[in-house]
Amino acid sequence: MRPFAILAAAALLLTGCAATPDEPEASLTPEASLTPDAQPTDDRCLTVDQSTADSMSLGLNVSGVELARWSAVKSNDDEKVWFVSAIATGGGLDGKAFTFATNDDPTQPGIEGLTLAADGFTKEFTDWPYGPDTEFGVQLVDDGGQEPRDCAEAAID
């Protein structure tokens, strides 16, 4: 179990420091393409709120990529950790899964917590801090890390 007790305080401090692409928000992924096309299949997987999907997408550092088929799972390793996955389309990344970690409930509107890249692939294509390199040590192999990815991938037609 990894400590996440100070994550909320860190999130408040880092909110102004989180990197986002230089593109204006209007040029980012259209809302319609972020809507999940199918319900998650795993019992633990939950649908991600659109505002969470929009916020996490702001960290993309590659053009032409849209994220869809969002799914979330609350980790059993730490009560404040949620893993969130989505599938990429466009930009040469079609079908690739992105997985994030957050300390805020991604199923509710208005995510305000810290967002981290939970794996190396997500780190490479976003500006979000890399979870394993942070003091929180959050990574894809933690409980709940793989499930939203599996659900998002299963939703691919």
Tokens standing for 152?
Answer: 């998002």
CB 106 within 8 A of CB 40: no
CB 148 within 8 A of CB 73: yes
Q: What is the pLDDT of residue 26?
A: 28
Cα separation, 14 vs 3, in Å, equals 18
- Give me the tens of pLDDT residue by residue for the chain, a chain 157 residues long: 443 333 333 333 333 333 333 333 322 222 323 334 444 456 899 999 999 999 999 999 999 999 999 999 999 998 899 999 999 999 999 999 999 999 999 999 987 889 999 999 999 999 999 999 999 999 999 999 999 999 999 976 5
pTM, 2 dp: 0.73
Place of tokens 């659109």: 50
Cα separation, 14 vs 19, in Å, equals 10
Listed in order, strand segments (DSSP E) in the chain are 66-74, 82-89, 97-102, 115-117
Q: What is the pLDDT of residue 42?
A: 62
